[in-house]
Structure 1
Amino acid sequence: MQTQASPPPPPPARAEDGAVLPREPHGFFGHPRGLSTLFFTEMWERFSYYGMKALLILFMTASAAQGGLGFDTNKASAIYGLYTAAVYLTALPGGWIADRFIGQRHAVLVGGIIIALGHFSMALPGVAFFYLGLLLIVTGTGLLKPNISAMVGGLYAPGDARRDAGFSIFYMGINIGVSVAPIVLGYLGENVSWHAGFGLAGVGMVFGLIQYVAGARHLGDVGRPTPRAGEASPSGGSGGMVALGLGVAGVALLGGAQALGLVDMTSAVGLAHTVLLIIVALSVAVFGYSFTAGGLDAQEKRRLGVIGVFFLGSFIFWAGFEQAGSSLNLFARSLTDREVFGWLMPASFLQSVNGVFIIVLAPVFAWLWVRLSRRGREPSSPAKFSLGLVMLGAGFLVMVAASLAAAGGQQVSPMWLVLTYLLHTFGELCLSPVGLSTVTKLAPPRAVGQMMGVWFLSMALGNLIAGRVAGQFESMPLPQLFGQVALVTLVAGGVLAACVKPLRGMMGGVR
């Protein structure tokens, strides 16, 4: 009796980069099982990052008697701005190293190990260990952050309708870490020891690494080096030599400028100013080259002009938004009544408010945009950008009122800060998700990676400026400081709102 041959097994599903996707005997909320591995890895990484970040400026400005470094606000804010800006800048070489040499999976693992070492370095007393820890965390985050996000996309085959929802779940993991970390690490750091708080951040990253390695089997081939990774293209060698030459020329130019006294890189404040000038010059050069020698047609140049406008709006937004960890954190410590039934709440606890609001409100905003879209009334990308800036400015108007109420050192209710963070969350949900998506749609197909790099530059620039603004916390009256931030963001939002119609025309049908 002849038996019927069984049909051949179906070919394995493949991601857009050709990697074999893991089979899904047991999914994660209807998504690939590997999403849970990346979800918890990123949750623990954000736990370590935001927990340390909530303590950073408080530790630097605390006196030696309080276990801190005793830095003045100007120096501490410059270091804070340099650190947060560097996190975005290192994402560019971090992605390049993964693409060309070690693959995304190894980049995430190595980056996580370096991050943990950085936190453990900060757990040791001494300024040298502090600076070494910051350097290690910046380096590790540059390897981990861009590549773990790319791996999430790699879990889905082309055309898989679950991709956007998968990123939404992944984003929830980020905000769980953001919400919990300031409470846990903040309590430990402010009530037990700063260094104990930094050490716990390292423990959190180790937890993330353990489950990342344990769950690697669920990732299939996603994130592994592809045949083209590490293989130079025909022009790859010359491109590398050009990049090396430009780097050497840049270092030589900076050395000459330092020798002539044009810049001062011997102090944190001077270094922050120098890096700010470098980012501005680099951004202008990229846009200038793209317009003049990028081979773009008229429509592409108009769209590139819109990206330039969004670039300006982005760095203004982040320069204000990132006051949360600096000037607003100092306001929470010095001028906010944090006593709850006789217990003094750590100032860093308030850093968790934004993450909680994101978790609660992100689904509401997603539902709102879909509902408005069905009615043909969803705001365009420029309109959402302008609304984000206006909401940010409104939050700082609240801080102007709070500062006036705190005149003379009077402590005020924490609800001032909670309301400010609520308005800032509204702004973030209007602007942040729109930015990356719109840039990818507006950029010429052959220059998407380049424009994404420019977008990271806008965020780095915003963080640097945020540090310089926060440096005026002690030298400028707070109503004036917060009032100036409110004025700049509200004017920027108003100008952008007035330009919505012409910008939509320049976008050529892209919303």
Structure 2
Amino acid sequence: MIPSNDDEAIPAYQTDRAFIGHPRGLGFLAFTEFWERFSYYGMSALLPLYGKDALFQPGHIERIWGFGPFRAFLEALFGTLTPLTLGGAIAGIYGGLVYLTPLFGGLIADRITGRTHAVIAGAALMALGHFLMAFDQTYLPALVCILTGVGLFKGNLATQVGDLYAAGDLRRADAFQIYTMAIQIAVIFAPLVTGGLAQALGYHWGFGAAGIGMVVGLVIYVAGLRWLPPEPAPEHEGGIVEPRPKLAPGEGKRVAILLLLVPVIALAFVGNQQLLGGYLIWGDLHYSLSFMGHKLSAAYLLSLDAIVSVVTIGGSVIFWRWWGTNHKEPDEITKMTIGTFIAALAPLALVAGSIQEAATGQKVGLVWAVSFHLINDIGFSNAYPVGLALYSRAAPKALGSTMIAVFLIALFLSGLIVAKLATLMEVISGTAFWGMHSALMALAGVIFLIARSTAGRLLAPTVDPEAEPQPA
């Protein structure tokens, strides 16, 4: 059958609503991301605690290949590091670098391999890295494999989510929130599985489980390839097989604004990024983690955060859908501003808990932990996925994967900030430690307000009625 002009204007994968009102490709991408995040958070939940409790202790630290020069480099940046602060600093830097490497992965995908091949290669490298974490000696090579794999995987997979939708399709932000919810569900189970294995059998078993999860994610991605949108052919020795889009007039200004917002986003995310940095170590030392006479692993705090986050992301999707039926739905930068100010209140719960601990001598109750996670996740659910949607929509077609990677650089910068903050845990009070986080995030909210009033129109969405998807 010869397609009509309308069929040619709107590709089938954009009109598809087989997955809860979205293209079925979103389902495969979301489940792939679920297993990738299972492996990532399963390992990350163990990383700072593993260093503090085992790897950086005498008898283990000497086995790590090349660790002497690496530690000297870290201490040149942060000063003398103990096993406690060394674990927090490495976890913070690692948590930041996983968002820097996607810049190079995006460039490689845009210009050389294409997104599909980059995602497959990245998944294979991550699986190898998780398995290498099972051995003390290969600690640093394992981190290199995982960081390289994430670089090839993360930004390119997120870009494929955006590519499922036409430019004016308002389901895009909703899709990224569903995509982010898959991440949060993975975080519920990952620390329980890897943390439980680490407690019962040893840390190396937990790292092995993370590797298996990544292999499952790779299988799901390959199975769903036929439901993903086509991509421009990459460059190779013979040149470009088909023309790639170029920057249109005026797109350079949008790119400049998106670049300038990166350090602001970095400040906005410091509270959330500290979850994978010094927070687990701080919680292990200061929270009352006993239950029925048994000490719980601090890794389970990430599962707590994920449970809360699933609720807040789902609530956010429902809220904005309701709001959109009764009022004009705000644009992405407005939602990010609101989310940042809400998230800035979260560390104040830990400030209050620290004041109580100092006054009574008793460890911080988990009610303060729940309060911190609840407030933080309400704010973050209106900042991170909405930010992804903004950078996906506003990015020129010629720089799709690259601009998603630029957005992720904000988390790299945030990781460097929280790594530095983590080194202060032993020298300042909990009140000052968490108060600094809140102040930095509030500053980001103020800058967002200024950016919204001065450059909001350049980033505002333009809806083309002819680009709206129609029911299949």
* TM-score normalised by L of structure 1: 0.73
Q: Is the 8 A contact 1:21 1:221 kept in 2?
A: yes
Match of 1:75 among 86, 93, 107: 86
Q: Name the CA distance, whole Å, in 2 between partners of 1:448 and 1:412.
A: 45
Q: Is the 8 A contact 1:176 1:355 kept in 2?
A: yes
Aligned equivalent of 2:371: 419
Which sits farther off after the overlay, 165-174 or 419-428?
Answer: 165-174
Aligned equivalent of 1:503: 454
Cα deviation 1:319-364 (Å, max 9, x = unaligned): 2321112222112211111112223221111112232222212232
Q: Taking structure 1 as reference, are residues 118 and 223 closer, same or farther at Cα in structure 2, changes over 3 Å only?
A: farther
Counterpart of 1:220, as a letter, is R
Aligned equivalent of 1:118: 129
- Compare relative contact order (CA 8 Å, sep 6+) and give the higher one, 1 or 2: 2
Match of 2:285 among 334, 352, 358: 334
Q: Taking structure 1 as reference, are residues 375 and 114 closer, same or farther at Cα in structure 2, changes over 3 Å only?
A: same
Aligned equivalent of 2:427: 475
Q: Taking structure 1 as reference, are residues 451 and 222 closer, same or farther at Cα in structure 2, changes over 3 Å only?
A: closer
Aligned equivalent of 1:463: 415
**Matching of residue 372 in structure 1 with residue 323 in structure 2:** yes
Aligned equivalent of 2:100: 89
Q: Name the CA distance, whole Å, in 1 between partners of 2:111 and 2:459.
A: 34
Corresponding residue SS for 2:98: helix
Q: Is the 8 A contact 2:342 2:376 kept in 1?
A: yes
Matches within 5 A, 1:14-413: 27-29=18-20, 31-63=22-54, 69=61, 72-126=83-137, 129-154=138-163, 166-213=175-222, 215-216=223-224, 219-220=225-226, 222=228, 227-230=233-236, 232=239, 301=253, 306-307=257-258, 310-376=261-327, 378-379=329-330, 381-407=332-358, 410-413=362-365
Deviation at 1:421, TM superposition (A): 1.0
Q: Taking structure 1 as reference, are residues 193 and 30 closer, same or farther at Cα in structure 2, changes over 3 Å only?
A: same
Deviation at 1:74, TM superposition (A): 3.3
Corresponding residue SS for 2:50: helix
Q: Which runs of 5+ in 1 are unaligned?
A: 1-7, 237-293
Q: Is the 8 A contact 1:73 1:472 kept in 2?
A: no
Cα deviation 1:189-244 (Å, max 9, x = unaligned): 2343111111111111122233444x24xx3274777544435359x9xxxxxxxx
Corresponding residue SS for 1:457: helix
Q: Name the CA distance, whole Å, in 2 between partners of 1:425 and 1:473.
A: 23
Counterpart of 1:45, as a letter, is E
Aligned equivalent of 1:265: none
Counterpart of 1:116, as a letter, is A
Q: Taking structure 1 as reference, are residues 122 and 443 closer, same or farther at Cα in structure 2, changes over 3 Å only?
A: closer
Counterpart of 1:176, as a letter, is I
Deviation at 1:161, TM superposition (A): 7.5
Q: Taking structure 1 as reference, are residues 483 and 149 closer, same or farther at Cα in structure 2, changes over 3 Å only?
A: closer
Counterpart of 2:109, as a letter, is A
Deviation at 1:447, TM superposition (A): 6.3
Q: Is the 8 A contact 2:339 2:381 kept in 1?
A: yes
Q: Name the CA distance, whole Å, in 2 between partners of 1:30 and 1:375.
A: 21
Deviation at 1:57, TM superposition (A): 0.7
Deviation at 1:134, TM superposition (A): 0.7
Deviation at 1:117, TM superposition (A): 0.8
Q: Is the 8 A contact 1:396 1:482 kept in 2?
A: yes
Q: Taking structure 1 as reference, are residues 171 and 344 closer, same or farther at Cα in structure 2, changes over 3 Å only?
A: same
Q: Is the 8 A contact 1:319 1:464 kept in 2?
A: no
Aligned equivalent of 2:468: none
Q: Name the CA distance, whole Å, in 1 between partners of 2:255 and 2:109.
A: 28
Corresponding residue SS for 1:347: coil
Counterpart of 1:120, as a letter, is F
Q: Taking structure 1 as reference, are residues 57 and 196 closer, same or farther at Cα in structure 2, changes over 3 Å only?
A: same
Q: Taking structure 1 as reference, are residues 426 and 172 closer, same or farther at Cα in structure 2, changes over 3 Å only?
A: closer
Counterpart of 2:275, as a letter, is A
Q: Name the CA distance, whole Å, in 2 between partners of 1:69 and 1:14.
A: 62
Deviation at 1:135, TM superposition (A): 0.7
Deviation at 1:123, TM superposition (A): 0.7
Q: Is the 8 A contact 2:394 2:459 kept in 1?
A: no
Q: Name the CA distance, whole Å, in 2 between partners of 1:16 and 1:425.
A: 39
Which sits farther off after the overlay, 382-391 or 157-166?
Answer: 157-166
Cα deviation 1:128-167 (Å, max 9, x = unaligned): x111111111111111222223334455678778666554
Deviation at 1:400, TM superposition (A): 1.1
Deviation at 1:10, TM superposition (A): 5.7
Q: Name the CA distance, whole Å, in 1 between partners of 2:459 and 2:18.
A: 40
Q: Is the 8 A contact 1:318 1:466 kept in 2?
A: no
Q: Name the CA distance, whole Å, in 2 between partners of 1:52 and 1:15.
A: 45
Q: Name the CA distance, whole Å, in 2 between partners of 1:73 and 1:122.
A: 19
Deviation at 1:376, TM superposition (A): 4.0
Q: Name the CA distance, whole Å, in 1 between partners of 2:135 and 2:419.
A: 25
Question: Larger C-alpha radius of gyration, 1 or 2?
Answer: 1
Deviation at 1:492, TM superposition (A): 3.6
Q: Is the 8 A contact 1:15 1:156 kept in 2?
A: no
Corresponding residue SS for 2:45: helix
Cα deviation 1:88-109 (Å, max 9, x = unaligned): 1211222232333333333222
Corresponding residue SS for 2:46: helix
Q: Name the CA distance, whole Å, in 2 between partners of 1:170 and 1:483.
A: 31
Q: Name the CA distance, whole Å, in 1 between partners of 2:372 and 2:122.
A: 34
Q: Is the 8 A contact 2:103 2:409 kept in 1?
A: no
Which sits farther off after the overlay, 112-121 or 424-433?
Answer: 424-433
Q: Is the 8 A contact 1:382 1:503 kept in 2?
A: no
Q: Name the CA distance, whole Å, in 2 between partners of 1:150 and 1:32.
A: 15
Counterpart of 2:90, as a letter, is I
Counterpart of 1:76, as a letter, is G
Cα deviation 1:452-488 (Å, max 9, x = unaligned): 4432322211111111111111122221111222222
* TM-score normalised by L of structure 2: 0.79
Q: Name the CA distance, whole Å, in 2 between partners of 1:40 and 1:199.
A: 20
Cα deviation 1:265-287 (Å, max 9, x = unaligned): xxxxxxxxxxxxxxxxxxxxxxx
Corresponding residue SS for 1:62: helix
Corresponding residue SS for 1:88: coil
Q: What percent identity do the matched residue pairs reach?
A: 32
